[in-house]
Chains A and B, each alone.
Chain A
Amino acid sequence: MNLSTLTAHELLDLLKNQKTTPQAITESVLKAIQRTDDKIKAYVRVRDQEPGFAPTRGSVPMAHRDLGGLTPAPSQTHLPISIKDNICIRGSPTTCASRILEGFKPSYHATVIERILSAGGLIVGQTNMDEFAFGSSTENSCFGPTRNPWNLDCVPGGSSGGSAAAVAGHEAIWALGSDTGGSIRQPASFCGVVGLKPTYGRVSRYGLIAFASSLDQIGPLTKDVTDSALLLKIIAGHDSRDSTSADVPVPDYTASLVEDVKGLRIGLPKEYFIEGLDREVKEAIEAAIAVLQKKGAIFQEVSLPHTEYAVATYYIVATAEASSNLARFDGVQYGLRCQPKTSRKTALVDMYEETRDAGFGKEAKRRIMLGTYALSSGYYEAYYLRGQKVRTLIKNDFDRVFEECAAILTPTSPTTAFRIGEKIDDPLAMYLSDIYTISANLAGIPAMSVPCGFSQKGLPIGLQILAKPFAEEMIFRIAYAYEQAALWHKRKVSL
């Protein structure tokens, strides 16, 4: 039996019955990485356990692959987990797939890392991403692109494409990603795995290298809904080190894993089923609706009238926050530093500018400049303030729908995975691939992508379930009922 293909809850059962050992599981994951990661390139750094274990990326020096001697506390789980490269791990390079963080080794763990280690988890490696989570394809990485395990010519989605591809390609048991505008859900959809963006404030952002502070959330990428519930339970909860984390009790999410959706009212926003939605995706969503209907869910058309403004609002609000957050990368205290060529009065500013030119990739520069523009004198009101006001309208749309519906169901992405290189030179086309996921971040609500079929070409399709703030249990309940009836999660990739 190949342990790395199993889910976390299946492995926990095996461990409980003493049919396997934590060592065997970790070894199986490391072997899978060794076998397949030169094709998928999901990892940027892998825990170096076996002598002679080849680096998965040429550009990661051997010394950087040491995870600082992390050892898990003795406890019940002992499962290996993979972590997106923007979540700080003490002693291990954490680079956001950016040159500007070259050589940066955090001196502290992110709160989610502490929680995972104290639950007995073992960090097996760090996964590729779009630089600073800027992108929807994992092509904007200083380590080069990750590939979709279902078709190596296609992107895995992004920005948590490394985590999604690792889980889909059986190179990870489960993984953490981060989601600012769809960065967990869209890659989950493209790779045929389950991805959850929790409610804003549900999971501490302490130690998550910030992209857009009012939108970012860390969340699980898993092989099924049960694992998603298990992993959220481990990472969720109030943290005094993140003043935006919510002091709301964390329920036992596994209690929501019941196949009962009878009488639940689910909204279908008419603005999401429009031109641009791929026919095969639409048919898969319709089939999923039929499955849930058969189990007693009641669907009704609803309206989110400001949907067409979501992408524009997002690219103002998110880039404004990003330009401010990324101001800290100036070469002074950590990361890359480029010495100015001349020593003159402006040498300090020259150092900032040279460092940021050499350290940031194209998309990062584009977003920093867009955000700087939106915040600059004379444009602040026309762009940033207006964006925040439209954000209020988008949030109000959801509040209204949740007065009568328990959840909303939509496609996760208008298409299946696109080809590598297809959208890289057209930023706007790339931004529009997030059209269905962005609103959840603007409204702060939880949302999950669940596999709901495959295209004729064999590429996965995802459906998205959204609920009101802190109603993750409702999402788990609907997602689990659907998953157990449809069984798409049983279809595994063969590499």
Chain B
Amino acid sequence: MLSQQEGRYIASLSRIHLEEDELEFLARNLTDILHYVEKLRKVDVSEIQPTTHVLPLKNVYRQDAVQPSLSREDVQGMSQHTSRGFFKVPQVLE
């Protein structure tokens, strides 16, 4: 069983604030799922390379040329929290 402390640690890595009851509920779910995926330990993978991607693609390059892109107005238009071309966030420095 995932401990309360481990659950809290994962939630903080995930940057999700969770109330006590929700944390307990999710920790129980995660424990069940982790228990299920334990079966992967049975597989011998000592000689096996990992698959990160299924296509035989190597580095995909393009010309280093200027191309049209979204305008700053378009991009910032998706937010209500902008000021003079910047995104506003809560104060981080005293």
Residues of A within 8 A of B (CB): 103-108, 200-201, 214, 240, 243-244, 246, 306, 308-309, 311-313, 315-316, 323, 327, 330, 332-334, 337, 339-340, 343, 345, 347-354, 356-357, 360, 362, 365-366, 368-370, 372-373, 376, 382-383, 385-393, 395, 427-428, 431, 442-444, 469
Q: Can you show 28 pairs from A to B with CB atoms below 8 A apart?
A: A105-B77, A108-B70, A201-B55, A244-B53, A309-B40, A312-B40, A327-B15, A332-B81, A333-B78, A347-B91, A347-B92, A350-B17, A350-B90, A351-B90, A353-B16, A357-B16, A369-B16, A373-B34, A386-B45, A389-B51, A390-B40, A390-B43, A391-B51, A393-B43, A428-B33, A443-B54, A444-B55, A469-B54
In the complex, the number of residue pairs spanning A and B with C-beta atoms less than 8 Å apart equals 166
- B83 near A: Cβ within 8 Å? no
- With A244-B55, A333-B75, A427-B33 given, name 5 new contacts (CB 8 A): A240-B62, A311-B36, A354-B17, A389-B45, A469-B55
| CB-based contact A366/B91 at 8 Å | no
Residue among A369, A392, A427 making CB contact with B51, cutoff 8 Å: A392
Q: Check B52 against A214 for contact (C-beta < 8 Å).
A: yes
Q: Indicate if the CB atoms of A243 and B60 lie closer than 8 Å.
A: yes
Most buried by A among B30, B41, B90, B94: B90
Q: State whether B15 touches A330 (Cβ < 8 A).
A: yes
By a CB distance below 8 angstroms, the chain A residues around B50 are 385, 388-389, 391-392
Interface residue range, chain B: 35 or more
Interface string of B50-94 (1 = CB under 8 A from A): 111111010010100000001000110111110000010111101
Which residues of the partner chain A approach B10 to less than 8 Å between Cβ atoms? 369, 372-373, 376
Q: In angstroms, how far is the closest chain A Cβ from the Cβ of B39?
A: 5
Residue B4 is within 8 A (CB to CB) of chain A in the complex = no
Is B5 in contact with chain A by the CB < 8 A criterion? no
Q: CB distance A393 to B45 under 8 Å?
A: yes
Instruction: Select from chain B the residue with minimum beta-carbon distance to A323.
Output: B14
Give complex CA distance A393, B46 in Å: 12
Chain B, residue nearest A376 (CB): B13
A340, A343, A366, most chain B CB atoms within 10 A: A366
Q: How far is the CB of B17 from chain A (nearest CB, A)?
A: 4
Nearest chain A CB to B30 CB, angstrom units? 6
- 7 nearest A-B pairs in the assembled complex, by CB-CB distance: A444-B54, A388-B50, A347-B90, A353-B17, A389-B45, A107-B74, A334-B78
Shortest distance between the CB of B26 and any CB in chain A (Å):
6
- The chain B residue sitting closest to A363, CB to CB, is B29
B2-30 contact mask (Cβ, 8 Å, vs A): 1 or 0: 00000000110111111000100010011
Cβ contact within 8 Å between A316 and B40: yes
Q: Are A244 and B57 in contact, CB atoms less than 8 angstroms apart?
A: yes
B79/A366 in contact, CB under 8 A: no
What residues of chain A lie closer than 8 Å to B22, measured between beta carbons?
Answer: 365
**What residues on A are CB-neighbors of B29 within 8 Å?**
366, 427
The answer to whether A369 touches B37, judged by C-beta atoms less than 8 angstroms apart, is no
Interface of A is mostly: helix
Whole-angstrom distance from the CB of A77 to the nearest CB of chain B?
Answer: 27
Closest to A375 in B: B13
Among B16, B60, B70, B75: residue with most chain A CB under 10 A? B16
Which residues on the B side are within 8 Å of A106 (C-beta)? 78
Q: Are B51 and A388 in contact (CB under 8 A)?
A: yes
CA distance A354 to B11 in the complex (A): 12
- B54–A214 CB distance below 8 A: yes
A351 touching B55 by the CB < 8 A rule? Answer: no
A313 touches B55 (CB 8 A): no
B91 CB to closest chain A CB (Å) equals 6
* A309 B55 Cβ-Cβ under 8 A: no
A368 & B14 in contact (Cβ 8 Å cutoff): yes
In the complex formed, the residue of A with least CB distance to B46 is: A389
**Residues in A whose Cβ lies below 8 Å from that of B81:** 332, 337
CA distance A330 to B79 in the complex (A): 12
Q: In the complex, what residue of chain A is closest to B59 when comparing beta carbons? A: A243
A298 to B34, CA, bound (A): 41
Contacting residues, chain B, for A244 (C-beta < 8 A): 53, 55, 57, 60
Provide the residues of chain A in CB contact with B70, threshold 8 Å.
107-108
B15–A352 CB distance below 8 A: yes
- Chain A residues contacting B49 (CB-CB under 8 Å) are 389, 392
For B39, what are the chain A residues with a Cβ–Cβ distance below 8 Å?
A: 308-309, 312
A368 cross-chain contacts in B, Cβ below 8 A: 14, 16
List of A residues within 8 angstroms of B77 by Cβ: 105, 107
Chain A residues within an 8 Å CB radius of B54: 200-201, 214, 395, 443-444, 469
Q: How far is the CA of A323 from the CA of B62 in the complex (A)?
A: 29
Question: Of all chain A residues, which has the CB nearest B48?
Answer: A389
What is the CA–CA distance of A316 and B15 in the complex, to the nearest angstrom? 19
Smallest CB–CB gap between B82 and chain A, Å? 9
A349 to B81, CA, bound (A): 17
